[in-house]
Amino acid sequence: MNSLETELQYPLGDELPPEGRALPVAPGVKWVRLGLPFQLNHINTWLVRDQVDGQEGWCIVDCGIDQAQSRAHWESVFETSLEGLPVVRVLVTHMHPDHLGLAHWLCERWQAPLFISTTDYLAAKSAMQIDTNYGGAPAAEFFALHGLKDEAALERVRTRGQYYLGMVPALPPRHHRLLDQRVLNLAGQEWTCWVGYGHAPEHMALHAPELGVLISGDMVLPRISTNVSVYESEPEADPLLMFMQSLERMRALPSDTLVLPSHGRPFKGLHRRIDQLESHHHERLAEIMAACVTRPLSAMDAVSVLFARDLDLHQLPFALGESIAHLHTLWHQGQLRRERDAQGVYRFKPTAEWSRA
């Protein structure tokens, strides 16, 4: 546990869901934990009591990637934790593979409808194509523009054009649209959608005021900061500003809300965690700015400023995308200007206005 975690409260302590079973965390809400084949080795998904067209059952919130281990895990959960009721709805917070990957299988298995923001549904359709943000030649060219010259890393990006498709091989053919502040009635309990930007195109968290519960997805995590990256499909985006504005909106929720995150343990201390995340990014922005004063910085140069650890070839593209995001915030705010050097790499340095200030 790091020092920031000690400022949060963990009502369940170190308890985790048993293998193949769901753990109750609030009235009508159960926690399922699925393994992932990455350094971030798990995703939390949730079972929420529901009723659709008079049929009592469960809503699954987030799904895991499509892999045999996750399908087997879900089958065990179905046998042990559904109390004899079916799954009547599948809801996905956003389009990333660990959240959406098994939605097609779950929806087909239970003949259940998919609920997701339309933006993320369409973004998933796009990401399933070859040569997307998640890999392929265009992504490699974009990262090269920002200073990635390591040929092994570039080749990994080029050859993972089907990276997304490998974890999300199919989508349900139709979906029901989630919108900010839409209220869903799940077995008599009202859950309000809270949109979040910056991490995904149109991420939807879910808040149940009477329960005092927030299913936060990836917007608010207790131990790590959410990845916020720029990709080649929107090369001049400012997702970090959008992310921090989204966090600020969540301050409207009660500070003692029980937060159910996609990674890590359920916790209380929402406002304090927002403070921590905002401080983290402001500190990183200050470090980037100080480094740019010393010399013009590429995003690849900024990786070593933001990440004080060795990164493998899987982690590096995510780190580079996040470095671009931090540089872009300073660029769009007018503190940095961007130029291409003799090798065609984007470099950032302080503006004359900032230097005079």
Averaged pLDDT, 160-174: 89
Model pLDDT for residues 182-226, shown as the tens digit of each residue: 999 999 999 999 999 999 999 999 999 999 999 999 999 999 899
Give the count of alpha carbons within 13 A of 56, CB side only.
Answer: 5
State how far the Cα of 254 lies from the Cα of 338, in Å rounded to an integer: 41
More confident residue, 19 or 336: 336
Model pLDDT for residues 304-320, shown as the tens digit of each residue: 999 977 777 778 888 99
State how far the Cα of 24 lies from the Cα of 47, in Å rounded to an integer: 9
* pLDDT bracket for residue 19 (50, 70, 90): confident
Averaged pLDDT, 173-187: 97
Phi (first) and psi of residue 296, to 5 degrees: -60, 135
More confident residue, 339 or 154: 339
State how far the Cα of 333 lies from the Cα of 330, in Å rounded to an integer: 5
pTM: 0.95
Model pLDDT for residues 42-97, shown as the tens digit of each residue: 999 999 999 999 999 999 999 999 999 999 999 999 999 999 999 999 999 999 99
Q: How many CB atoms are located within 10 Å of the residue 284 CB?
A: 21
State how far the Cα of 315 lies from the Cα of 39, in Å rounded to an integer: 9
pLDDT at residue number 279: 96
State how far the Cα of 171 lies from the Cα of 150, in Å rounded to an integer: 35
Lowest mean pLDDT segment, chosen from 58-67, 96-105, 143-152, 257-266:
143-152
Walk me through the domains of the chain, giving residue ranges and CATH numbers.
Answer: 5-280 (3.60.15.10), 283-356 (1.10.10.10)
pLDDT at residue number 304: 92
pLDDT at residue 164 is higher than 80: yes
Q: Is 138 helix (H, G, I), strand (E, B) or coil?
A: helix
